[in-house]
Amino acid sequence: MAMSWRQRLGLKPRPAPAETKTARPSATLAFTGAGRPVWSSSDYAELARSGYMRNPFVHRAVRMVAEGVGRVPWMLRQGVQDLDHHPLLDLMARPNPREGFATFVEAVASHLMVAGNAYVELTEIDGRPLELNILRPDRLRVVPGRDGWPEAYDYTVDGRTVRLPATAERGPAPLMHMRSFHPLNDHYGLPPIEAALVSLDVHNAAAGWNKALLDNSARPSGALVYSGPNGLSDDQFERLKRELEEGYQGADNAGRPLVLEGGLDWKNMSLTPRDMDFIEARNMASREIALAFGVPPMLLGIPGDATYANYQEANRVLWRQTIIPLAQRIADAFGGWLAPTYGKSLSIELDLDQVPALQGERDVLWERVGRASFLTDDEKRAAVGYGPGDGAAEPVTKAAVIPRSN
């Protein structure tokens, strides 16, 4: 038997070429399971971008609460006496040349809800408060001291950092830091938007899926199965793929029927929105977002919520349980920060008589106090939140008790 030249040189025989197929298999089936969820980051920029800037329910909830807080007027009291004119009232009426009281307080409340922190810088001239300016929370960093408490704050913008001390030798500190309660952080607050982050991601993902469905509504989600005897060749496969992309993908081709040649069959491989309970999942996520911000879902237009008897009751709950407590916290913080500069007996309080949403409650209180014959005039004034009268023997009515009228 003749030997080949490779055998004569002691070389191993060349391996046979691997078998190649010129046709596609007649059918292919692939199974895939659900992957792990991917949650958004909890830093301020991501929360502001994916929440307040891109989610309508977060945006509306924050604005509804913040605008309500900005509409609650403040009163300055010295003991039990209300002051109508005072430098602190002038400062709060116009904190800086760009903002009035309502806009300023609304921004403070918005930062607390989106970032969990609000920072206000004080500008003084000769020890006299001149301006109040709000600083963005993501630009400030707490500098702890040796005892663990904040010693200073680093404010960074455009690559430059300015250190602001946390206390002052005389007068108020140059920076006030308000923060929400955080169970795991000593220096920064926990915003409601972070507590609603899971629901926010679900709602945003559902909206993104719906947008993608609209953009690609004519591209079928499934598989073409060929049951012919010889399978598809490479040329046939590429031609079929090109026809699907050009003729059936995109919103312009929505509704076009899929024409199949002999041996081809369409198999649906995805769940429909009904199978996924798509609409109810979005509504549930919306309700959870509203719950985190303390806003009754009815006020955000979320369907299917009948917790409150009517819109007026839901609005009163919003004011009593969410807006008023937040407004009181902000007023207390400013009072504790600025009022001691002008006198130890000064305090900032809310003028709830000027809140239209609470007018019904005030009317009931006035009626009850007016019928209490066992109370003196001064006791009645104290029951509705005012100091003693001037001793005149006049009946205690609503007009008589309120020291200022519009």
pLDDT digits (tens, 9 = 90+) for 16-52: 555 554 444 444 444 344 444 444 446 788 888 888 8
In a domain, residue 46? The reply is yes
Query: Considering 255, 279, 303, which residue would you say is the last residue of a domain?
Result: 279
Residue ranges of alpha helices (H) inside 13-119 are 44-47, 56-70, 87-93, 101-114
pLDDT tens readout for residues 270-298: 656 555 566 777 788 888 888 899 999 88
CB 57 within 8 A of CB 287: no
Residues 49 and 81 in one domain: yes
Q: Which two tokens stand for residue 32?
A: 């895939």
Question: In this structure, are 95 and 169 located in the same domain?
Answer: yes
SS (H, E, C) 271-284: CCCCCCCHHHHHHH
Please check whether residues 175 and 69 belong to one and the same domain: yes
Report residue 194 as tokens. Answer: 């972070």
Q: What whole-number distance in Å separates Cα of residue 339 and Cα of residue 346?
A: 6
Q: Which of 1-5, 175-179, 222-226, 265-269 has the lowest mean pLDDT?
A: 1-5
Domain finish residue from 350, 374, 398: 350
Nearest one of 239, 216, 182, 208 to 42, comparing CA atoms = 182
298 and 180 fall within a common domain: yes
Provide mean pLDDT across the span 341-355.
86
* Mean of pLDDT values over 62-75: 94
Same domain for 53 and 98, yes or no, is yes
Residues 173, 46, single domain; the answer is yes
Q: Are residues 54 and 174 in the same domain?
A: yes
Assigned token pair, 361: 């409650």
Nearest to residue 47, comparing CAs of 236, 197, 206, 211?
A: 197
With a cut of 70, say whether residue 254 has pLDDT above it.
no
First and final C-alpha spacing in the chain: 122
Domain that holds residue 227: 197-279
102 and 114 assigned to the same domain:
yes
Shared domain for 329 and 381, answered yes or no, is no
* Mean pLDDT of the 77-104 span: 91
| Whether 340 contacts 172, CB under 8 Å | yes
Beta partners for 129? Answer: 124
Q: Is 236 helix (H, G, I), strand (E, B) or coil?
A: helix
Q: Are 250 and 218 in contact (CB under 8 A)?
A: yes
Residue 82's pLDDT is what? Answer: 84
Q: Are residues 285 and 240 part of one domain? A: no
Domain assignment present for 175: yes
Q: How open is the CA angle 88-89-92, to the nearest 5 degrees?
A: 85
Q: Give residue 388's pLDDT.
A: 72
The string of pLDDT tens digits covering residues 119-141 is 999 998 877 889 999 999 999 99
Write down which residue in 253, 279, 305 finishes a domain. 279
Q: Averaged over 104-118, what is the pLDDT? A: 95
Q: What is the pLDDT of residue 148?
A: 87
Q: What Rg value do the Cα atoms of the chain yield, rounded? A: 34
SS3 assignment, position 312: helix
Assess if residue 155 is contained within a domain. yes
Q: If you count them, how many residues does the chain have? A: 406
The reply to whether 366 and 217 lie within a common domain is no
> What number is the average pLDDT over the span 292-312?
79
Number of domains composing the chain: 3
Integer Cα distance of 65 and 67 in angstroms: 6
Which pLDDT band holds residue 78 (cuts at 50, 70, 90)? confident
Residues 303 and 156 placed together within one structural domain of the fold? yes
106 located within any domain = yes
Q: What is the mean pLDDT of residues 6-11?
A: 53
Residue 95 in contact with residue 146, Cβ under 8 Å? no
What is the token pair recorded at 132? Answer: 């109040």
Q: What is the pLDDT of residue 332?
A: 95
Q: Is the pLDDT of residue 169 over 80?
A: yes
The token duo for 268 is 């649906």
